[in-house]
Amino acid sequence: MKSKFLRVLLAVAVTYTFSALAQTGSAAIPPSSPGAAPANPASNPAPTPITGTKIGAINVEGAVFGTNEGQREMLALQKKYEPKQAELKQQNDELENMKKQLSTQEGKLSDDAANNLKKQIETKQKSFDRSVQDAQEEVTGQQQEIFSRILSKVAPLVIKYAQENGYGMIIDTSKQWPQGPVLIAGSNVDITQAVIDLYNTQSGVAAPAGPAAAKPVAPKPSTGTTPAKPAAPKPSQPQKQ
């Protein structure tokens, strides 16, 4: 399940990117400096305005991670952190074995031995939790970097698609209501796959070999179970709300 922190980062990136694109060409023209030659309109053509009347929906997060490039990058990220995942699993296994030893032998151990084992468990637990948190923050940061980088290239294609297909409004369905503003969005208005296909065609990036990626899930602190292996991102397709 995606972390709340990541959700916020993605939302900020989406808002910033599309806002910047929407403002392109609409900002006031700065006054010319004295003696400067007038700007040549042909050298800086204004973008085609969005004047359509149709309303469309796109899962921005699904579009970004659903591209061939997005899947390739996320699979590479998963591969990069497999050694760290194995290391955390080993630490967790050792910690759980110590807890089991304390549980089964506490009545048989001397007070000093039991207290010593408890202190070892406490120290290892703190170390493990810090390692998990550090790994989670690092993975989340790199995942956000991938998202932002690809979004900056996907966003113009959303604008282009809207202009060429008569859309006057495109809503983002990445978050389900009530976390997101969209209550219902039928598949007949969804343009996510169309944008993915357009991006794949223009980028020329081939589909990654093997199973589709799913966004890595950062390991959780020990709760008596082995940390989950980070899955690779399977892009979430827009769902009917």
Q: Which residues of 141-163 are buried (b: 16+ CB within 10 A; e: fewer)?
A: ebbbebbbebbeebbbbbbebbe
CA-derived radius of gyration, the chain = 25
What span, in angstroms and rounded, lies between the C-alpha atoms of 147 and 236?
14
Q: Domain residue spans in the chain?
A: 4-20+50-203
Is residue 158 within 8 Å of 14, Cβ to Cβ?
no
Element (H, E) at 87: helix 82-105
Give, for all 241 residues of the chain, the pLDDT tens digit.
344 434 433 443 443 444 444 344 333 333 333 444 444 544 555 556 677 889 999 999 999 999 999 999 999 999 999 999 999 999 999 999 999 988 888 778 888 888 999 999 999 999 999 999 999 999 999 999 999 999 999 999 999 999 999 999 999 999 888 888 888 888 899 999 999 999 999 999 999 886 655 544 433 444 443 334 444 444 444 444 3
Q: Is the pTM of this model over 0.95?
A: no
Listed in sequence order, the residues at least 6 apart from 23 whose beta carbon sits closer than 8 Å to its beta carbon are: none
- Which residues in 199-216 are b (16+ Cβ under 10 Å) and which e? bbeeeebeebeeeebbbb
